[in-house]
Every structure is written in structure tokens, then in C-alpha cells.
Amino acid sequence: MAGESASTLDGGATRVVRVETAGVESRGVQGADPIVPPNVPIIITIDGPAGTGKSTVARTLAMRLGLDFLDTGAMYRAATAIMIDYEIPLDEPGELVSKVIGADLHFDWTADPPTILAWNAPIDHRIRSEDVTAIVSDVAAIGELRSHMVRKQQIIAAQHPRLVSEGRDQGSVVFPGAAVKFYLDADPEVRARRRADQLRLDGLDVDEAAMLERIRRRDEIDSTRSDGPLICPDDAVRLDTSALSVEGVIDEMERVVRERVSALIDSDG
Ligand code: DC
């Protein structure tokens, strides 16, 4: 589509505008009912704390709408794994960022969900390990690393402009003009129970009280850091998922997106 002009849903301006889309390409995910025609960029963001089911709902929502799905937590986890494996101290952000740049973190978009690679090797198995989970919030609070990741996520969106992007700062910092923004929340106790149930399904022994403590600590670090703190953007749709099933959350989000997008298209005439 190089050199073509296409409509984009610019949520910040709450209208449909024309933009140049030269040089961008998208996998063109086959959704059950694509939200917009294939040449129309659209970004939907999902922010919120750990344990709200963001990744699961983001992935399914993207599939239903015919969009790509970006898991930005995987990028911070990958940086954390690199830090641990190369024994880089937390107080050496410059060294960490140059190692991460050298790793050329990127996704294999042919996989579902896309897998993350460092030095061209998949590292999905590594980024979910306990040692990574234990310190990823501390690593994600490093300002220099965040600036690098924000730029990288914006570049990914230029290459995959039809995107559901989930994380802690996607609507607030990375894509402030997203067409639709969500903020998912749930009581810490509910989030700890969900995480514990998930680990039990994997056959692991879980101390739920310790899990709750860890979730509270991550919330505290994520929401009090100076760069890209976890906040609910003013223009986000806030959903408390405490009493909702995963299916119920996705249904509601799909309803909101379809309603908003048709209103944007109608208002454009
Ligand atoms: O969603 P997750 O558990 O995979 O995220 C891992 C960590 O990365 C979590 O502590 C929050 C942080 N994170 C972030 O700071 N900004 C993002 N956009 C995504 C994740």
C-alpha cells in the first residue's frame, strides 16, 4: 500500500482523518468480523495492573476484530531476562539498554500469539520464569529502558498499524491518540486468586497470601514510578473485571469498540 492514502481512526481527535500509510505493512489477521477495512489503521489500548487478564482478553479481542496483538509486558520481561542472564546490575541502566538494543527484541508475527525473540532466538519460555517475574517491576521502572521500549513499541505500531496493544502505559504514554482505550481493574484478592489458580493448573504449589503480597508490591512499584506510571487515562473506558468472566469482559470490550468505531465513521460522513 506504499504511497496510498487511507482512513485512520484517530481516537484522540474523535474523528476519522486521512493519513499517508506509505511503507507500513500489517499481517492482516483474519478476524471473525474485521472492525475496519484492511487498509485502515486502528490502535486499541488496554492498560491495567497485573492479574486482570489483559493478555488473554487483548489476544482474543484482537482475533475477533481482525487486528494484531502486542504484549508489551513480554518486552519488559525479555529485558529482565537479559539483565539476569548477563548479570547486569540494576543500577547500570546504560549497560542494560545497550545490551537490549544489541538483542534486537522483536516478535515473530507468524506465530499465534506472536513469540518474542532476542538475538533472533525465541525466549518465550525464559520470560515467564519466577526469577524474571520477581524483579520485572523493578526493571520496568528504569527510565532509560522505558524510553527505548516506548520508541520500539511506536515503531512496531508503524509496521503493524492495526493493533490491540496491552501493557501499563499504552493509552497514557505510548499511543495517546488510540481510537479506543481500556483500563482493566480488579480487586487485588481476585487477581491473586486468578494467578494462583492459573499456576495450580500448571501443577505448581501456590501460597496465595504470598501471591497477594507480590501483587500489591508490583502495583505499588508500577503506579508510583516516575516514568510511565500505571494510571487510568482520562479518556479510557474503565472496566472492573472482579465479578466478570473472561468471556464477559471480552464481549463488553468488543461491544464498546464496535459502537465507538461506527460512531467515529458516521461522524466522518
Ligand atoms: O503484564 P506483565 O505481567 O507481563 O508485565 C510485566 C511487568 O512489566 C510488570 O511489572 C509491568 C511492566 N510493564 C510496564 O511497566 N509497562 C508495560 N507497557 C508493560 C509491562
Q: Tell me which residue has its CA closest to atom 20 in ligand 1.
A: 73
Q: Is 150 in the pocket of ligand 1 (CB under 6 A)?
A: no
Report the separation in Å between the CA atom of 265 and the middle of ligand 1, taken as the mean of its atom positions.
33
Q: What is the mean pLDDT of the chain?
A: 87
Of the listed ranges 74-83, 92-101, 106-115, the one predicted with least confidence: 106-115
Over residues 172-203, the pLDDT tens digits come to 999 999 999 999 999 999 999 988 888 888 88
**Does 264 have pLDDT greater than 50?**
yes
- Confidence at residue 38, expressed as pLDDT on a 0 to 100 scale: 84
According to DSSP, residue 114 is labeled: P
Atom of ligand 1 nearest to the CA of 54: 1
The pLDDT tens digits for 4-48 are 333 445 433 323 322 233 333 344 445 568 888 888 999 999 999
Distance 140 CA to ligand 1 centre (A): 7
pLDDT, mean of residues 88-109 = 97
pLDDT > 90 fraction of the chain, expressed in percent and rounded? 71
Which helix (DSSP H) or strand (DSSP E) does residue 15 occupy?
A: strand 15-20
Work out which ligand 1 atom sits closest to the CA atom of 169.
18
What's the pLDDT score for residue 44? 98
The torsion defined by the Cα of 195, 201, 203 and 206, in degrees rounded to 10, comes to 30
Give the rounded percent of residues in the chain with a pLDDT score beyond 70. 88
Between the alpha carbon of residue 191 and those of residues 2, 27, 50, 115, 186, the distances in Å are: 44, 33, 7, 25, 6
Instruction: Give the domain range for residue 200.
Output: 2-267
Helices in the chain by DSSP H: which ranges?
54-65, 72-85, 93-103, 124-127, 130-140, 143-159, 188-201, 208-224, 246-267
Range of lowest pLDDT (3-12, 91-100, 131-140, 162-171): 3-12
Ligand 1 touching residue 76 (CB < 6 A): yes
Nearest Cα neighbor of 36 from 26, 51, 24 is 26
8 within ligand 1 shell (Cβ under 6 A)? no
Number of domains forming the structure of the chain: 1
Residue 180: what are its φ and ψ, rounded to 5°? -140, 135
Quote the pTM value: 0.86
Q: Classify residue 3 by burial, with Cβ atoms within 10 Å: 0-12, 13-18, 19+.
A: exposed
Determine if ligand 1 sits within 6 Å of the CB of residue 47: no
What's the CATH number where 157 sits? 3.40.50.300
Q: Does ligand 1 lie within 6 Å of residue 58's CB atom?
A: no
The residue written with cell numbers 479518556 in the block is 235
